[in-house]
């Protein structure tokens, strides 16, 4: 069912510092910061040959990553995102297997403009897991 | 400098349960467990079209992931691994940029039979980061 690893999301307090580490020390290709006010984050993508890293910095009040950064002041991996061909079929299969889908169970439009769902970390090896319609 | 994301490593207490979730609920292709006594882990690979997930379960006493699982009893993402063409050149560049390389700074032979280095999480956005010679 799951296809490509679309991205690994890393939450950071200081996007400029994180970007500098990946650009200068690791020699990676990084994009300019993109504010996404609807999602409460500013995003930088690290473009790798086979997937991407997404740095997330809190934007505005009530950012969904604010609490995570209180617990992880150095930053840390926030979630993994897998692509699926049919997000509704994926949701129904997961529910049938007893896995918990977060929110009301209906896909939302994610940061890439595609339908996404988040799955409960306790059901997925302690890892917040996002599914994105491919 | 960094190339492909070689893998995302997820540490778990119960490899069979983790494997079942990825195989049954997420419909992914998973390998048989491979004990790696020299590295203190038993490994299962989840094969994705563009990269892989590596589940790590402690093996024997003094497993390098035992403390991580004490802190994260549900499991969690343990490290990311990037490929580099020249691991010694990568190390020297990282040191010149002020990043901390773990251990004595000399590459060890990793779980895939290739030279690897681990980088300090505090210098890489709270993320334990492995470099593997491609």
DSSP A55-103: EEEE-STT-TTHHHHHH-TT-EEEEEEEEES-HHHHHHHHHHTTPPBST
**A contacts of B14 (beta carbons < 8 Å):** none
Position A123 scores a pLDDT of 96
Position A111 scores a pLDDT of 86
Among candidates A25, A121, A124 on the partner chain, residue whose Cβ is nearest the Cβ of B99? A25
Q: Tens-digit pLDDT profile for chain A (134 aa)?
A: 999 999 999 999 999 999 999 999 999 999 999 999 999 999 999 999 999 999 999 999 999 999 999 999 999 999 999 999 999 999 999 999 999 999 999 999 998 899 999 999 999 999 999 999 99
Cα distances (angstroms) measured from residue B31 to each of A96, B20, B28, B45, B111: 24, 11, 10, 5, 15
How many helices, marked H, and strands, marked E, lie in chain B? 3, 9
Among candidates B8, B24, B26 on the partner chain, residue whose Cβ is nearest the Cβ of A8? B8
| Rounded Cα–Cα distance for residues A57 and A74 (Å) | 12
Residue of chain A with shortest Cα separation from B125: A75
User: By the CB < 8 Å criterion, does B48 face chain A?
Assistant: yes
The pLDDT tens digits of the residues spanning B4-55 come to 999 999 999 999 999 999 999 999 999 999 999 999 999 999 999 999 999 9
- Please confirm, yes or no, whether A130 is among the known catalytic residues: yes
Tell if the CB–CB gap between A76 and B10 is shorter than 8 Å. Answer: no
How many Å is the maximal CA-CA distance in chain A?
46
Q: What is the residue-averaged pLDDT of chain B?
A: 96
Tell if the CB–CB gap between B27 and A75 is shorter than 8 Å. Answer: no
Tokens matching residue B19: 């494997």
Catalytic positions of B, please?
A: 130
Size of interface A-B (CB pairs under 8 A): 115
Which CATH superfamily groups domain B5-133? 2,3-Dihydroxybiphenyl 1,2-Dioxygenase, domain 1 (3.10.180.10)
User: H or E element: which one contains A119?
Assistant: strand A115-119
The average pLDDT across B86-115 equals: 94
Counting every residue written for chain A, the total comes to 134
- In this prediction, residue B106 has a pLDDT band, given cuts at 50, 70 and 90, of very high
In this structure, are strands A29-30 and A5-11 parallel, antiparallel, or unpaired? unpaired
Tell if the CB–CB gap between A125 and B18 is shorter than 8 Å. Answer: yes
Q: Find residues 101-120 of chain A whose CB sits inside 8 Å of chain B.
A: none
ipTM attached to this prediction: 0.96
pLDDT at B111 over 90: no
| Rounded Cα–Cα distance for residues A51 and A4 (Å) | 8
User: How distant is the Cα of B61 from the closest Cα of chain A, in angstroms?
Assistant: 22
């Amino acid at each position: 069912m799951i296809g490509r690893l679309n991205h690994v999301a890393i939450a950071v307090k200081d996007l400029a510092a994180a970007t500098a580490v990946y650009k200068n020390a690791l020699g990676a290709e990084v994009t300019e910061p993109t504010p996404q006010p609807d999602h409460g984050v500013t995003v930088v993508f690290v473009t790798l040959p086979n997937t991407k890293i997404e740095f997330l910095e809190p934007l505005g009040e009530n950012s969904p990553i604010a609490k995570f950064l209180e617990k992880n002041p150095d930053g840390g991996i926030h979630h993994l995102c897998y692509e699926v061909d049919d997000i509704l079929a994926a949701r129904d299969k997961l529910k049938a297997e007893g896995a918990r889908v977060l929110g009301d169970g209906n896909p939302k439009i994610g940061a890439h403009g595609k339908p996404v769902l988040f799955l409960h970390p306790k059901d997925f090896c302690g890892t917040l897991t996002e599914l994105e319609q491919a």
